[in-house]
Amino acid sequence: MVVEQKATIIESAVPYEKKWMEKWKQARIFEADPDPSKPKFMICVPYSYQNGPLHIGHGFTFTRGDVYARFKRMQGYNVLFPWAWHWTGEAVAGTSERLKQGDQFIRKVLIEIDGVPPEIVEKFTDPAYISKYYTEENRKVVEAIGFSVDFRREFYTTDLHPYYSYFIKWQYNTLRKKKYVALGKHPVVWCPKCQSPTGDHDRLIGEGVSPQEYTIVLFSIDGAYLAAATLRPETIFGVTNIWLNPNHEYVLIEVDGKKLIVSRKAALKLSEQKKNVKILDAVNPDTLIGKYAKTPLIDIEVPILPAEFVDPDFGTGVVYSVPGHAPYDYAGLLTLKTSSKWDKYNIKEIVEKIKPISIIKVEGYGEYPAVEIVEKMKILDDKDPRLEEATREIYSKEFHSGVMKDNCREFSGKTVSIARDEVKHKLIEMKLGDVLWELPEKVVCRCGTECLVKIVENQWFLTYSDPEWKSKVKEHILNMKIIPEEARQWFLNVVDWLKDWACTRKTGLGTRLPWDPEWIVETLSDSTIYPALYTISKHLNQGLVKPEQLTDEFFDYVFLGKGEPAKLSNKLKIDLRLLKEMREEFLYWYPVDMRISAKELVPNHLTFYIFHHVAIFDEKHWPRGIAVNGMITIEGEKMSKSRGKFIPLKTAIARYGADATRCTLLLAAEDMDDPDWREKNVQEVKQMIEQFLKIVEEVARAELVEHTYMDRWLMSKLQKRIKSITMNLESLKTRKACHEALYGMYNDWKWYLRRTEGVISKKAKTFIENWVKLLAPFIPFTCEEAWSILGKEGFVSIESWPIVLGELISPEAELQEEVIIKLIEDVRRIINLIPGKKEKLTIYISSREKIDLIEEIYKIVEEEGQKNMGRIIKTIISKLPGKEKIASTLAKIYVDLISSLTPNYKLKTIINVAEREEEIYREAREFISKELGLGVEIYREGEQDIYDPLNKSEITVPLRPGIYIE
């Protein structure tokens, strides 16, 4: 199959990005082979479904993966970051089908949103072509965005691929042997016209509606049964009558050897859910109304009455009435009492005798909650729309806090939620109950047909509900690295709640089930352990092994170590060395160290991924880590092709370049927060990246001086940045890490230049080199460019990650700068407060005696917290005779100083810097003067000839000088 090349040109807005992409490719620096001398790190992201272009949502998750891969690679790990394409599923077939039918909307989306050239859209009537097309295009996007992928290992899924389906066959045979696959049946939303399940996106109406389980309760009458459907079987003890809608026709049907009376529509529904449903006869409800039927379990006779609120299209069209606890039923009785419409039935007398029966005790209500709420809301008949609301209220209250009263046989004293289940089972056991699946809301298929619920028979299930399997999975989840931590509980909950999963389909692309080939393994079920395939796909892609040679025995050996390689080599005619090499390679790379995905996959794919690994592999090969992240919004809105809120990655790259796209995404969110893509942000980031490159160019050109006064500070800051960026990356806090690497470093650099007045030292160049490295995982193209501008050989992508050099950390240099910044800040505040022109700043440094007080007061604060001001004041008075009057003010300033500095600085640092305080201001005098536009004079408290008109020198404390402005 040939896919047109012109459709797949991806051009970045930034010229050098293409250059580096090609150089990487040429140098093959991202191809990873086993290397026993290095620790390995295998990272992957879930492959994406090839039914459209990769978009910025993919971009977000995948960029996080790439950043982590690049980071680990620079840290010296042998990193494997593989890639593949998901073709399995029914959506692509749906697109083809719609296109064939001439659906203009889908055509428009393909051309206008996805950017498919109009002349080839016609070929999209072949589902395989679609996936092929997007795979070709998206591969180019993955390269263009700079993901550091080993493309030798690439594959796509389904039996269209030479070997993928052999792998899936092995997987399913293995699961079946272990009894994790079983036959069963399950309800689906079904279109009778299309004769297929109607998934959410195949619907015109009823998105998100899923089948709900009703209990059928059989009331016997004349050798047949009235089949009432209910969500609340426990209310059977409060039944007073049965409702039929007299305006509609009912039918007598035979199911499982029993004769049932239901509405005509219900008969149709039942026939999709039960075998051998036969319609025997029409039944006119008039012939039943006024008669009595026998209630199961309690054997009492209840009358059959007319009610128009009964919807014959819903459930069975037969409703049993519980006026004590169901507002509709009580309202139905009210209607019968007040209206003369049904006089023909002569039921007035019967109706008069009916009294609600109280069977559930619920907080906040008396005997008859339904009666109460109907009266409270002043509802007068069964046509009142507020009955919906009343029903919801009572239903919910009783379900959550209701307890069955004494008149409920063996169910008395049980909570409603438990009794409901038990009554249902009892009824079914007695063959006086059954299950009916119903759609709580109307669902209409895209073809325009109203859907119903069908029970699909002989469906294959993955038995996720198996308690042993579950508990193994849960135990492993407790031991995994899960990022962020909150996701762990979510996983555990999902495992608890997961039921058996229908793992086969009849339509769409995929792999046939080996033992039952009319079924195709469903999309979420054929993509669980494929990362294992990456470890050997490199060899398979070379064509040295034919697909037919990939038998179950082959995979048993390579992945599970079963069997004798020599024998197997003989049998399969696979070179023994190659066979062993594949086994070795699997053992080298596996398990997956980190899998990164959006959080929407937690309740399905990611959990399945753990389940299947646990089921199939040795424990040492189970996944080590999972990181999940939020889902993209665009300008605050959910992504949506139909509303135009959709940005393909190729578009972002073409508009802003790969690095700006990556960086904008990374800066948008981390953990489970949803990132928001904003045009304004990406513009801003693009400029910032340009600014960064400009700085690198300037430094590369600059005449470097040997040393500046700010070098120590700059190096110290650098160490802190390295530490923080590394720590954040380690736990995939990509937002924080990227922010600090870009803006944090930038701020340090700006301050450095501001202080040195643009003079750049050799150390400063070191800072810039480190900056390039620290940014390399985030904006790799720009960093390669920067690296070469700095005159460096090779790729920064495979340089070593900076490590913290403890000896370069200088708290004194940092504190010194802080003191200067604080001084300037204080002066500015005062300048803004006092009127008039300011020309001169006088700084007063505290007397030397005050330095000793720092330690003494520090000790008091340590011992007693900040409470004991008295003791601090006394200490000050004893050390500074004659300062009694201002001792309390000084005490406060001291305490402020100490409590603000001690979290970051050791006492010794503070004292050392205080000793040098005068020197610090004298050194920075010119800078301070320039910053503030004031002349600067410096005095020490107590100095002779001191100029101090406001007596500011007196209330000074070390590192908190007095200020006088005039």
**393-452 positions binding RNA, by CB under 7 A:** 396, 400
Residue 301: beta bridge partners?
294
Pick the piece of the chain touching RNA (CB under 7 A) from 75-83, 437-445, 594-602, 762-770: 594-602
Selection from 2, 75, 43 nearest residue 597 by Cα: 43
- CA separation for the pair 456, 475 (Å, rounded): 33
Contact residue for RNA among 123, 505, 583, 721 (CB under 7 A)? 505
680 touching RNA, by CB under 7 A: yes
Q: Which is nearer to RNA, 582 or 627 (CB)?
A: 627
Phi, psi of 150 (to 5 degrees): -90, 95
Piece in contact with RNA (CB under 7 A), picked from 121-129, 198-206, 286-294, 579-587: 198-206
Q: Minimum CB separation from RNA for residue 687, in Å? A: 5
Q: Could you tell me the smallest distance in angstroms from the CB atom of residue 880 to RNA?
A: 17
CA distance 590 to 410: 55
| 640 binding RNA? (CB under 7 A) | no
Applying CB under 7 A, does 501 fall inside the site for RNA?
Answer: yes
Among candidate residues 14, 10, 9, the one with its CA nearest the CA of residue 784: 14
Answer yes or no whether residue 828 interacts with RNA by CB under 7 A: yes
- Point out which residues pair with 292 in neighbouring strands: 303
- Minimum CB distance to RNA smaller for 93 or for 428: 93
Could you say whether residue 934 binds RNA (CB under 7 A)? no
Angle between helices 552-560 and 576-589 (to 10 degrees): 50
Determine if 390 is a binding residue for RNA (CB under 7 A): no
Give the total of residues touching RNA (CB under 7 A): 95
200 to 219, contacts with RNA by CB under 7 A?
A: 200-201, 208, 210
955 binds RNA (CB under 7 A): yes
Decide: helix, strand or coil at residue 537.
helix
HSE-CB at 667 with a 13 A cutoff on CA atoms is: 26
Q: Does 268 bind RNA (CB under 7 A)?
A: no
Q: In this chain, which stretch among 7-15, 319-327, 430-438, 899-907 interacts with RNA, using CB under 7 A?
A: 899-907
Nearer to RNA, 642 or 878 (CB): 642
Query: What span, in angstroms and rounded, lies between the C-alpha atoms of 574 and 549?
Result: 8
Q: Which amino acid is at 725?
A: I
Taking CB under 7 A as the rule, does residue 106 contact RNA? no
Rule CB under 7 A: say whether 833 interacts with RNA. yes
Q: Which stretch binds RNA (CB under 7 A): 26-34, 469-477, 482-490, 773-781?
A: 482-490
User: From CA 879, how far away is CA 334, in angstroms rounded?
Assistant: 92
CB of 723 to RNA, least distance (A): 15
d(CA 626, CA 481): 6
Tell me which DSSP letter residue 124 carries. Answer: G
Could you say which residues in the range 767-806 bind RNA, by CB under 7 A? none
Q: Does 754 bind RNA (CB under 7 A)?
A: yes
Which residue, 524 or 809, is less far from RNA as judged by CB?
524
Closest CB to RNA among 256 and 486? Answer: 486
Task: Between 573 and 867, name the residue whose CB sits nearer to RNA.
Answer: 867
Residue of the chain from 800, 903, 944, 945 that contacts RNA (CB under 7 A): 903
Is residue 458 a contact residue for RNA (CB under 7 A)?
no
Which is nearer to RNA, 86 or 265 (by Cβ)?
86
Q: How many CA atoms lie within 13 A of 356 on its CB side?
A: 23
Assess 823 for contact with RNA (CB under 7 A): yes
Which residue type sits at 932? Answer: L
- Min CB(962)–RNA separation in Å: 4
CB of 385 to RNA, least distance (A): 21
> Is 600 one of the binding residues for RNA (CB under 7 A)?
yes
159-162's contacts with Cβ under 8 Å and 24+ in sequence apart are: 159/510, 159/511, 159/512, 160/87, 160/128, 160/509, 161/87, 162/547
Nearest partner of 678 among 665, 662, 692, 687, judged by Cα: 665
Which parts of 645-674 interact with RNA (CB under 7 A)?
A: 669-674
The whole-angstrom distance between residue 489's C-alpha and the CA centroid of its chain comes to 13
Residues 138-197 touching RNA, rule: CB under 7 A, are 186, 188-189, 197
Kindly indicate which of the ranges 85-93, 616-624, 765-773, 937-945 contains the residues binding RNA, using the contact rule CB under 7 A. Answer: 85-93
Q: Any contact of residue 966 with RNA (CB under 7 A)?
A: yes
Question: Within 10 Å of residue 657's Cβ, how many Cβ atoms?
Answer: 27
C-alpha torsion sign, points 836, 841, 847, 853: positive
Nearer to RNA, 367 or 931 (CB): 931
Q: What is the secondary structure of 231-258 as a DSSP string?
A: S-GGGGGG--EEEE-TTS-EEEEEETTE
